[in-house]
A and B are shown apart, each in its own frame.
Chain A
Amino acid sequence: MSIFVIAETEKGARGLCAGARTLGNEVALVSLSEATRIAGIADAVYAITVPVDALVESAAATVSELIDTKAPEVVLVEPTRRMKVIAGKVASKQGVSVITDAKSIEGAAATSLFFGGIANRKTKSVGDIAIFTATPSIFGDVQPSGSDVVEEIAYIADDTVKLRSREALPPAGVDLTVAKNIIAAGRGFTDEADLQMAHDLAAKMDAEVGCTRPLTEAVNWMPRETYIGVSGLMLSPEVYVGIGVSGQMQHMVGVNTAKTIIAINKDNNAPIFEQADYGLVGDLKTVLPEIIAKL
């Protein structure tokens, strides 16, 4: 079976090529940038040079034509904003839909979260091709390999969307995906200054601090890279402590595989207590200093 990988980052290219090898015996990488021109991870590398002053997505027409010609059975796509646009355009041309954020793949079908984790939904591609977006982690610990025949594919210009400027966003200060323990601050924090207590507690328990979506959006108290849940981070820490977190499914799905779930909330009816191993009913302003002192 022939599998195509379309990735934007080096990590994505390596991981998805390794994963592709578990699905089929022929792995080809579509490389749209220097970052993904990597040796030894695929049988063929189709290199498309996108001009620096063009949108990366403008390569969609070129990629679509390549896929038309090579007719792979499966396309694995890194789930970034740009790659999702390219995947969608390829899918439209092929008369299928991209099955996104696959947690597991079986032939032309994949299982993804439904309503952010209320259920798992298995969806099958209708057509001769199945296009999935997936993070490399779903394939477990596998290594990429390949003989690397590099073929340059001529870029078909597409300037329907013009790039005016591009700048790097400030890098995320912390990488919550590798943190052993996680503290999440929720809307129960009514004063920004109180977040210091979450950081103080984190220092005591070797944890990093993340948050629920309102803390990055309704108020701009936390960096947007740190929100946990649907469309944010999906984590699997040893210990998760939700402080002032109500327990809304959209957030909890990002941590519900934690080994231990701990909750602090002043509302004893907060749904998070139903999903926690240990819960403390109390006002965070008074209980946090005491917990930090005693821990």
Chain B
Amino acid sequence: MNIVTVAKIVCDDQDIQIASDRTLDYSKARPTVSTYDLNAIEAGSLVAAEKGATHIVVSAGTPSIDDTKNNKNILARGVDSLTLIMNDDYADLDAKATAEALAPTVKDLAADVVICGDGSADIYAQQVDVQLAEALGLPVVTAVSKISFEGSALVAERILEAEKEVVEIALPAVVSVVPDIALPRICGMRDIMQAGKKPVTKIDGATVVRGAEVMETLAPEPAPRKKMLFDAGTDGDIDKFVAAVAEAIR
């Protein structure tokens, strides 16, 4: 059995700077796995361990996603190999184009289960799962909090806004998981050392057609704040703070 987890590599949002013209400066930001995709990878590794399956992580992006440290961080999480599909034109891909970039490789890997995360840190559109399933001609189930297997079918528990469903889906299938499904492991030094020996396959991504185009990305003007700081260790400061709170809720 092959488990393929699809992960987005984004720049670390902690290091995004806002330039004076309100555009974003990513020059100091390192590539990192989109937060909730770490939970998806963990879920994939748990399923793979249970089923004795191979777990492959696939990502698509510009060549900047190929980062030794980040590759090791992925491979240290119970992942057998990593495939990076890269093309200079893959910046700011929409869900449809992302699915188009991923689909041929995912198909070649003969995935039985394709796992996607809850949503990406940057656009959180929750759409690559559905678009990828459509591109592959596979069924999809979203918002999955628990995965089990019965014969050749996957049984998934899903958490919706006001309901919980248990569904059965024939494999191969695309399953997107909520973060609760699995907490990402803390990688030990040994895991990271071993990760360095695992294969990273680099593929030249084919040209894709976008379904949506980014027009502009600008930081909002921040709301001005008073930034008055009190210290509980300073005599009378709690009283001043309480007075400020009382005034605010009046």
Contact = CB atoms under 8 A, between A and B. Distances in A.
Given A277-B225, A286-B232, A161 B139 contact: yes
Contacts, number: 243
Nearest to B209: A95
Contact of A124 (B118, B213, B220): B213
Nearest to A284: B232
B168 A161 contact: yes
A70 interface: no
B189 interface: no
A117 B231 CA distance: 30
A239 B248 contact: yes
Interface in A226-251: 230-231, 238-239, 241, 249
Interface stretch (B69-77, B120-128, B192-200): B120-128
Nearest to B129: A88
B1 interface: no
A71 interface: no
A99 B212 contact: yes
B188 interface: no
A295 B214 contact: no
Interface stretch (B47-55, B82-90, B239-247): B239-247
Contacts of A39: none
A84 B165 contact: no
Contacts of A117: 220
A161 B133 CA distance: 13
Interface string A52-96: 000100000000000000000000000011101101110111011
A249 B121 CA distance: 11
B217 A280 contact: no
Interface string A160-175: 1111111111010000
Contacts of A205: 245, 249
Interface string B106-143: 00000000000011011111110111001100011111
A295 B167 CA distance: 51
Contacts of A87: 127
B230 A101 contact: no
B215 A109 contact: yes
10 closest Cβ pairs, A-B complex: A282-B232, A88-B130, A92-B134, A97-B211, A97-B94, A160-B139, A277-B226, A96-B211, A97-B212, A100-B125
22 contacts: A80-B161, A82-B160, A84-B127, A88-B131, A88-B134, A92-B134, A96-B211, A100-B125, A100-B127, A121-B123, A124-B213, A124-B215, A125-B211, A161-B167, A161-B168, A163-B165, A167-B164, A168-B163, A169-B164, A230-B124, A277-B226, A291-B241
Interface of B: 13, 16, 18, 22, 24, 94-97, 99, 118-119, 121-127, 129-131, 134-135, 139-143, 155, 158-170, 179-180, 183, 209-220, 222-223, 225-233, 237-239, 241-242, 244-246, 248-249
Given A274-B227, A286-B232, 9 more contacts: A91-B211, A95-B209, A127-B211, A166-B165, A167-B164, A239-B248, A281-B230, A282-B238, A295-B242
